[in-house]
Structure 1
Amino acid sequence: MMTWDEAQSYCKKTYTDLAIVRNLVESINIGKIIPKLSYAWIGLHRDWSWSDQSKSAFRYWLSGKPDNRYNTCVSMSNYYGKWEDYPCETQLPFSCYSVKKQKVVSIRLNPKEQNMDLTSHAVQEAILQQIKTELRKKGMSDDVNLRWKKQPDGKVFHKE
């Protein structure tokens, strides 16, 4: 339970920012994690802009809202994920989001065995496991996912 400003500060330090809601599905999904019969802060605030400066025209207000009675921030109800303007100083639960970072890395393989079938799923998985093992030895965390990226032709590897 925090004020809107405290929640935003916490989210920025710990994740990315307060939750940004871009569509009905996201609004409903966030609404499902809010404590029963409660409201929670989202990243829309006073001037109806998103706290992370992202753009989204989606709005999902409760009927008759916003009524601009307060110097307001926006909370979401757990009932259908609808929104209401609320005094920013109110202490409420909140929802943060984080951004998954993705990095594409190219590698060059020189197989010791020239007849190795690099199209084999088992061979590709074995190589990926070896790469994961080496990266973990160098400090990569366990929550990182590695996978092969297929080219437009459906292949992972190409001969040079």
Structure 2
Amino acid sequence: MDLYSVHKFLIYVFFYIFVFFSGPCCVMTNQLLHYHFINENKSWDQARLYCKDNNHTDLATVSSMADMNRLRKHLGNRSAWIGLQRKASSNRTWQWSQPDVQFNESRDNGWDTDTKEPNDVGIENCGTLNTNKKWADLSCNRKKPFICYDGENNYNNIPHE
């Protein structure tokens, strides 16, 4: 083998070693959220407080379709509060409880279109994942089970009014 061939071979070896060892790091970023279904009936505010008081990050947040599919699978045939709420300053704008995840109406379209959600029947400012595995708006005072998540950071903002 000449020097050029050895050099080329070493570059390939280092490249594959780099890809092999760095690949799982990138894939695991979606695995940082762990969901916990809590089978206790609480209002949205009580559920959020429970999550934080029990060392969870917050109510469940959806930042991708992969998260949405994991939540749906985790929920089974139940409905539960998630960390979705209407912004106090807006009539139709929603936000996630996790501050670094922006709610995007066109991308985050998990609303239940069969029931025309969000349907704004009464004062419905909090989000739930319903038995159809879709989002629905409900009164924040309703008592429901809920889903907390654990992430790599703990956040404590977006007060609910």
SS of residue in 2 equivalent to 1:95? strand
Q: Please state which structure has a larger fraction of its residues in strand.
A: 2
Moved over 3 A (4+): none
1:7 aligns with 2:47: yes
Superimposed CA distance per residue, residues 91-132 of structure 1 (whole angstroms, 9 cap, x where no aligned partner): 11111111237xxxxxxxxxxxxxxxxxxxxxxxxxxxxxxx
- Distance in 1 (CA, whole Å) between partners of 2:122 and 2:149 is 26
- CA RMSD after TM alignment: 1.7
1:51 aligns with 2:51: no
Segments of 5+ residues of structure 2 without an aligned counterpart are: 1-40, 88-93, 154-161
1:127 corresponds in structure 2 to: none
- Given candidates 68, 87, 99, the residue that maps to 1:27 is 68
Aligned in 2, Cα 1:70/1:51: closer, same or farther, shift over 3 Å? farther
Q: Percent identity?
A: 32
Matched positions, count: 99
* TM-score normalized by the length of structure 2: 0.56
Deviation at 1:50, TM superposition (A): 1.3
Specify the code of the residue in structure 2 equivalent to 1:20: T
CA distance in 2, matches of 1:70, 1:30: 27
Q: Which runs of 5+ in 1 are unaligned?
A: 102-160
Larger-gyration structure (1/2): 1
User: Which structure's relative contact order is higher, taking Cα pairs within 8 Å and 6+ residues apart?
Assistant: 2
CA distance in 2, matches of 1:17, 1:69: 26
Q: What residue number does 1:74 align with?
A: 127
131, 143, 152: which is aligned to 1:100?
Answer: 152
TM-score normalised over the length of structure 1? 0.56
Larger relative helix fraction: 2
